[in-house]
Amino acid sequence: MGETKYIFVTGGVASSLGKGIISSSIGKLLQARGYSVTIQKFDPYINIDPGTLNPYEHGECYVTVDGHEADLDLGHYERFLGIETTKANNITTGRIYKSVIDKERRGDYLGKTIQIIPHITDEIKRNVKLLGNKNQFDFVITEIGGTVGDIESLPYLESIRQLKWELGKNALCVHLTYVPYLAAAGELKTKPTQHSVKELQSVGIQPDILVLRTEHELSAGLRKKVALFCNVDEKSVVQSIDASTIYEVPLLMQQQELDETILKKMDLPVGKTPELGAWRSFLDRREKAEETEPVKIALVGKYDLQDAYKSIREALSQAGTYNDRKVDVIFVDSEKLTDENAAETLKDMAGIMIGPGFGQRGIEGKFVALKYARTQDVPTFGICLGMQCMAIEFARNVLGYSDANSREMDAKTTHNVIDIMEEQKAITNMGGTMRLGAYECTLTPGSKSYEAYGKELIKERHRHRYEFNNEYKDKYEAAGMKCTGINPESGLVEIVEIPALKWFVGTQFHPEYSSTVLNPHPLFLSFVKAAINQ
């Protein structure tokens, strides 16, 4: 196609309007037209990455194949587009400043005074263009975190202003705002949108397209008014009304010809509208599945927040669709789970999911859930810390090591069935003790995991510090818990299963990160199928 085109997505009025979903939807529509697309997220906080952020503050931490801890919006980008993102797709203010300060310390600026303009803005612009230059994508969509008017996002907006001048027709700004409904007056109000656009104009950016988030249908007259007051043409005012699923949004945007408007503004041929056949059939199948009797899956964890387990929830939902059943994910607070209330809390559950996490809080409740699941033979899936808890519960209640634990939870345990292992130091690609990013795993033929994947060698993403202690491996296997997935390079255990049970599988890796709309994850498909047959 020649030169890379850049689309900037900004948000106004309020946060959490769904910039990530709009960015992903635009990407999906352009991808369906045959363009190569990638999406990056700029986060205005000063942390280097979200790896150290509490899930209550920021939702889940997503991990890219190259081992970068990233914002959860990258999960949306991958689920919608079926692409793999990398470290280059998520930049924080912390990383921008660190890069500039490192250059200053090295003397790269030859003694110049370092300022926000041009040094910080140049670094932001360099990161925007990096994906276009390096990988020759047709489109790079850049989502700016936060809300216009935030002091933190000003350097990003200034960078967009400069890039729009430098790139001309190759750059475009999509601004997402909110149109509230005042029940007392019975009216939709456009004033917040007008103010938000003025705020953007005050930093020198005229948005090219407005996407209005709303819970009520916006009339043609209201859109005309917004276009008039905000200096955009009527065709460029698009509504984004609440949908029953985020996966409907690309179709809603396509109905309003958002992709055509973008192509016209960027002097590209429009051609015929893509069918999005596979996407539509997924939505049709989902709609039918949603009308069925729900399969209840308990998600046992300690973060009572939708976004804390975003990828797991999406992977379960996708697996439900492909099994033609509605999946109801019921959050169970592991801090409140005890031997006394476990049977009552979990009795209606067709499957039990033991979530990932870090730290001691809530871990005893996970052991309670696992003991119940193992003894009652309920299909169970443990991810990361969930898999480690499977190993600990088994050691305590089957192998008879009452003090069995992870070194993370109890440094003094005499049965450190989970620990930091020598073998992992040899393969950790981040230089630290964390195993981050994609690693290979060899599966045991005949195991549940092998049957799900249908192949022997797989590659999955990790985010953890502690490992299954191989010194105990023979004892586990003799007692009925098999190690069915092994890292070929280090011999570290990646998957444990109890073959005597219907479906009892724990993975040291995070399979939820690679489940997408058109390629649901095989382990989730297998787990949900087992829960349905329960």
510 is catalytic: yes
Match 């810390």 to its residue by tokens: 385
Residue 492 has which token pair? Answer: 């570290």
- Please name the residue that has the structure tokens 């033991």: 354
Q: Nearest-CA neighbor of 259 among 40, 19, 34, 517?
A: 34
- Name the token pair of 105: 């310390």
Question: Comparing C-alpha atoms, which of 317, 316, 241, 251 is closest to residue 280?
Answer: 251
Residue 196 parent element (H or E): helix 191-202
* Polymer length in residues for the chain: 534
- Nearest one of 241, 271, 318, 253 to 82, comparing CA atoms: 318
- Strand 482-486 with 493-497, pairing: antiparallel
Which residues lie below 8 Å from residue 481, measured CB to CB, with a gap of 6+? 390, 391, 394, 398, 496, 497, 498
Q: How far apart are CA 143 and CA 120, in angstroms?
A: 18
Whether 512 is catalytic: yes
Q: What is the dihedral of CA 232, 238, 239, 244, to 10 degrees?
A: -160
CA distance 39 to 139: 8
Per-residue b/e over 96-127, b at no fewer than 16 CB within 10 Å?
bbebbeeeeeeeeeeeeeeeeeebbbebbbeb
384 in active site:
yes
Is 140 within 8 Å of 131 (Cβ atoms)? yes
Residue 67, number of CB atoms within 10 A of its CB: 20
Find out whether 221 and 189 touch, Cβ atoms under 8 Å: no
Q: Closest Cα partner for 29 from 210, 288, 215, 261?
A: 261
Q: Which of 78, 467, 497, 512 is catalytic?
A: 512
DSSP letter string, 472-521: GHHHHHHHT-EEEEE-TTT--EEEEE-TTSSSEEEESS-GGGG--SSS--
Distances (CA, A) of 191 to 12, 16, 74, 342, 472: 12, 19, 32, 51, 65
Q: Are the C-beta atoms of residues 355 and 316 closer than 8 Å to each other?
A: no
Catalytic residue among 68, 175, 462, 510: 510
Residue 366: name the closest of 340, 387, 397 by CA. 387
The token duo for 522 is 């095989």
C-alpha radius of gyration, the chain, whole number: 25
Exactly one of 173, 384, 389, 441 is catalytic; name it. 384
Active site positions, annotated? 384, 510, 512
